[in-house]
């Protein structure tokens, strides 16, 4: 992996970093990321013995926050900005119950009919089970309300002697039951996950026009930031945001908007790249993966964990997609190693909390090793220098099992 030397800087001032964060498929407002960062950052600083300070940014464009770090006298200042696409997520989630079941059929066919589902199972079964979860739960909910409705309809018809009442009673129970299940989805997440996978699968993996337009805006914003006086511009993509970050950065570099000498870094966290790149019409994403993996303009580190059932842990996103170029430089695939970086007590407290584990990359570790989100974002070392000399983590999966490799 190439680690470029930065231009000389004044060593008497703090290391200055600009961070642009791309969330995953998440409808929550961006302020929640600020609250999470401040809470977990304070805890990590307490555990690891460094100091963090939180405040506003100098640049008030978009939503974000500022952070300063003191690591044994080595100081850094960072400004975060969240690149928001929650409005697109919210728009895709505004589906009726009937429309959601329609999504279920189309999404299941997109993965099963194309053979992508069976190839994904050759990588990691955890995220495939997570993908099947909303299908199974929604079908089970439908079966329960149909049985309950049919049974109650038959009973009312027998008791009243008017069998013509059976059908309307059945329909009323089914309607009420499905709406009740949907109201409970804040704890079950079946509808949320169904919308997530349906959004990825629509168009066979091609980005919808609204998302393409937003990615163009993201690339424009990063180009604007790169024109500033920063020691590092760090782009972070989490979950679905990890593959969006690949496309944004590929577009940025293709357009020649990375200034000579700029230190550009990319940190992808908890990626689900194969869920998109294994679909037949994901040519754009596969081309971007191939292109970005060979570029010298940035350092790309990919961090996942086998203990995160919602990601493709230690699956090399370029290699498994079948688009690894001869001149590949990156990403460096590293494990957050939850079994080593989280104490047994902490792991017990997170047992069964799959979404929380999927966000662990953005949280404090009580037994931190070389992956420390807050040292990476608020510390005095650029991303590439922090991992100089590292090899891929043991257990990296690089089998090119994708059936669709056209770019």
What angle in degrees, to the nearest 10, is found between the helix axes of 97-113 and 166-183?
Answer: 70
Contact 367, 342 (CB under 8 A): yes
Q: Give the strand pairing for 232-238 and 264-269.
A: parallel
pLDDT digits 0-9 by tens, 27-68: 988 999 999 999 999 999 999 999 999 998 888 788 999 999
Boundaries of every domain in the chain:
15-87+207-386, 97-201
CB of 144 within 8 A of CB of 180? no
CB 387 within 8 A of CB 77: no
> Can you tell me which residue has the tokens 């842990």?
313
Q: Assess if CATH 2.30.29 describes domain 15-87+207-386.
A: no
Tokens of 254: 């293709």
The pLDDT of residue 10 is 57
Helix intervals (H) in 161-239? 166-183, 185-188, 190-201, 209-226
Residue 397 carries which DSSP code? B
Neighbours of 370 (CB within 10 A): 13
User: How many angstroms separate the Cα of 375 from the Cα of each of 195, 222, 299, 362, 367?
Assistant: 34, 22, 17, 11, 14
Residues forming beta bridges with residue 302, ordered by sequence position: 268, 333
User: Each residue's pLDDT tens digit in the chain (407 positions)?
Assistant: 444 444 455 557 899 999 999 999 999 889 999 999 999 999 999 999 999 999 988 887 889 999 999 999 999 999 999 999 999 999 999 889 999 999 999 999 999 999 999 999 999 988 999 889 999 999 999 999 999 999 998 888 888 877 788 889 899 999 999 999 999 988 888 999 999 999 999 999 999 999 999 999 999 999 999 999 999 999 999 999 999 999 999 999 999 999 998 999 999 999 999 999 999 999 999 999 999 999 999 999 999 999 999 999 999 999 999 999 998 999 999 999 999 999 999 999 999 899 899 999 999 999 999 999 999 999 999 999 999 999 999 999 999 999 999 99
Nearest to 242 by CA among 304, 284, 305: 304
d(CA 59, CA 63): 10
Give the predicted TM-score (pTM) of the model: 0.93
What pLDDT is recorded for position 156?
87
Run of H or E including 265: strand 264-269
Best CA proximity match to 275, nearest among 100, 404, 116, 400: 116
């Amino acid at each position: 992996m190439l680690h470029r030397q930065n231009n000389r800087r004044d060593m008497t001032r703090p290391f200055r970093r600009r961070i642009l964060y791309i969330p995953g498929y998440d409808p929550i407002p961006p302020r929640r990321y600020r609250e999470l960062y401040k809470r977990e950052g304070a805890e990590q600083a307490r555990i690891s013995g460094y100091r963090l300070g939180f405040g506003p940014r100098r640049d008030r464009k978009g939503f974000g926050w500022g952070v300063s770090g003191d690591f044994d006298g080595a100081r850094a200042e960072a400004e975060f900005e969240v690149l928001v696409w929650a409005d697109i997520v919210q728009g895709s989630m505004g589906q009726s119950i009937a429309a959601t079941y329609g999504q279920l059929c189309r999404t299941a066919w997109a993965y099963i009919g194309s053979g992508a589902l069976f190839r994904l199972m050759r990588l990691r079964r955890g995220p495939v089970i997570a993908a099947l979860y909303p299908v199974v739960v929604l079908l089970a909910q439908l079966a329960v309300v149909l049985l309950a409705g049919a049974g109650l309809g038959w009973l009312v018809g027998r008791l009243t002697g008017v069998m013509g009442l059976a059908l309307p009673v059945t329909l009323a129970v089914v309607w009420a039951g499905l709406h009740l299940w949907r109201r409970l989805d804040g704890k079950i997440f079946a509808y949320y996950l169904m919308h997530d996978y349906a959004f990825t699968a629509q168009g066979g993996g091609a980005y919808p026009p609204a998302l393409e337009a937003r990615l163009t805006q993201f690339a424009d914003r990063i180009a604007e930031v790169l024109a500033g006086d920063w020691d590092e511009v760090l782009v972070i993509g989490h979950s679905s945001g990890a593959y969006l970050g690949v496309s944004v950065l590929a577009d940025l570099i293709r357009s020649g908007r990375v200034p000579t000498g700029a230190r550009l870094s990319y940190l992808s966290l908890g990626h689900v790249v194969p869920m998109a790149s294994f679909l037949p019409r994901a040519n754009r994403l596969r081309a971007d993966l191939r292109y970005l993996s060979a570029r010298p303009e940035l350092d790309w580190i990919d961090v996942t964990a086998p203990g995160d059932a919602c990601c493709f842990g230690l699956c090399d996103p370029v290699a498994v997609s079948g688009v690894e170029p001869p001149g590949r430089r990156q990403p460096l695939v590293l494990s957050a190693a939850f079994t080593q970086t989280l104490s047994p007590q902490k792991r017990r407290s997170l047992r069964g909390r799959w979404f929380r584990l999927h966000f662990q990359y953005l949280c404090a570790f009580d037994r931190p090793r070389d992956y420390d989100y807050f040292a990476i974002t608020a510390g005095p070392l650029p991303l590439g220098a922090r991992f100089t000399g590292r090899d891929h983590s043991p257990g990296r999966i690089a089998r090119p099992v994708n059936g669709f490799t056209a770019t």
